[in-house]
Structure 1
Amino acid sequence: MATPDALAFRFFSLQVVRTESLGPSLVRVTFAGDDLAHFHSDGRDQSLSLFLPAEGRSKPAVPFEEGENWYQAWRELPDDVRAVMRSYTLRALRRDPDEIDIDFVLHGVEPGAAVAAGPASRWAADAKPGAEVVLIGPAVADNRAIRFRPAEGTDLVLMWGDETALPALLASLESLPAGLPVRAWVEVPHAGDVQDVVTAADAEVTWLVRDESSAEGAFPALDAIRAAGLPSARKPYVWLAGEAGRMKELRRHFVGERGVDRRQVTFVGYWRRGLTEEQLREQPQE
């Protein structure tokens, strides 16, 4: 029998409906399918596992008929058959009709890119209506794959994210109540990646366009956050998401230099410099 936690998540077979460019580095892909009637989420930074077809194939091979043994069965598929699994966050869920949006970062798809695009970037850059995917997503609206959870009584929210965290950061901002003070810093590769922010909160969002020519190890966001004057707060909450190494530096700043209770800091490493997602998945969890 499946455990209660397992019942909170299920497989969804979906198709691309449309795509929308959000900037030089970002594309939004909208998915639909009958299965979405069973998809429920409170949003915020809801994480998902997305399966894309292996190169040269039209459908993702995911042996979900194996039940709880699907992961091992998936790992044992031949390399040229096994679906590509990547982690993403939900940008939006809509009803009538049932649709979800997932925003993809396009790394390395531009001509002459220093680093070649990975399979997910290549797929998203060329996604067409009707393309089929499979994802593992929530069947229960409030689930453990939502990490953005300010405690009751939070009187200041502090956020940092890079472009991989942008969908989660914007969705979380949209969920906040009117008047709550928020200070957020967002790193993006290009000025054209800056997006409108919609929130009832008292939010001040600082966009930091990355200078790719800056010295190795430079971290302008940390300098900007260190220099920032913050509203006084009795119970601040910090949410950090993006590249794992940068996130650690910021966590040390907020806990060690700003005195934030470490229990009120949420940090999620979406990627790690120099590692593929497959390699990151094999790393010990902190």
Structure 2
Amino acid sequence: MVKHFGWTWIGAVRSDTDYGNNGMASFLKAAQEEGICVEYSEVYYRTQSPSKLERVANVIRRSTARVLIAFMHTGDMRFLLEELARQPPPPLQWIGSETWITDPDFLRYNMCAGAIGFGVPQSVIPGLREFLLDLTPAQALKSPLLKEFWESSFRCYLKERTDITEGVQECDGSEDIHKLQNPYLDTSQLRVTNMVYKATYAIAHAIHGLICNDTQCDKNIKFTPWQILNQLKLVNFTTKNGFKVSFDSNGDPPAVYELINWQFKKDGTLDFVTVGQYDSTRPRGQEFRMSRNISWVGGQTEVHYNYLTD
């Protein structure tokens, strides 16, 4: 992305974890090869001292780079933004990794307006909402997780409970899951959930490849985890919601992301807007496909290269 938009003078901050350190190491290597200059590369983890967090924030505040790449976990990013909000730096063009760029809790930080980053693609999983709506008290009783969900959602307790909080009534069957107003039934903007959906089907396809031939399947066949792993390498299918699933020689799926941009709505609040897509399977130099205008830092809709690189 940095190369695509022509930025040559940037700052970088990462989580002090395998995710942050390995990701940033790959980026810094590629940046050097592309002639991109990195003014600073800072590292932070949420359990480190407040003085360390303040030092990282001050590096950002005092830097001359106006483009900042944040390869951070959500928890680390929250600490950093809270610290920067106390004394905001000059306007920055934030570039985010997929862990935080679509986190709705961060939209309250107006200093990140114009942020852009790679988001796991949104999706609709066929039948999921209907499956969730079919949940009954009897089914909830079979799972500690669903039991806790049912009781907290309707503020009642299901049978077979002995540790009842005083004042809480027993669920009487009148609870209507269709009327719940919580994230449970919001299946309109699923991202990571769809990755679980794809992974589950990938394993199912691998098992099918082990126990079935052209004419029949033998469900009594015993197999090892290593056989499943080898079979996963051969998986190649398309899910019902149109996502292709396959793996390369390293065991990695194709890198396909939505390009997410933080834009102001008419009411003055920030929101996520999908402005394009990145697909690593496309020809070199054509991986980006833009579909909408990007709102950059300061509200510009064009990249001002001098401002962002000087």
In proportion to residue count, which structure has more strand?
Answer: 1
TM-score by length of 1: 0.26
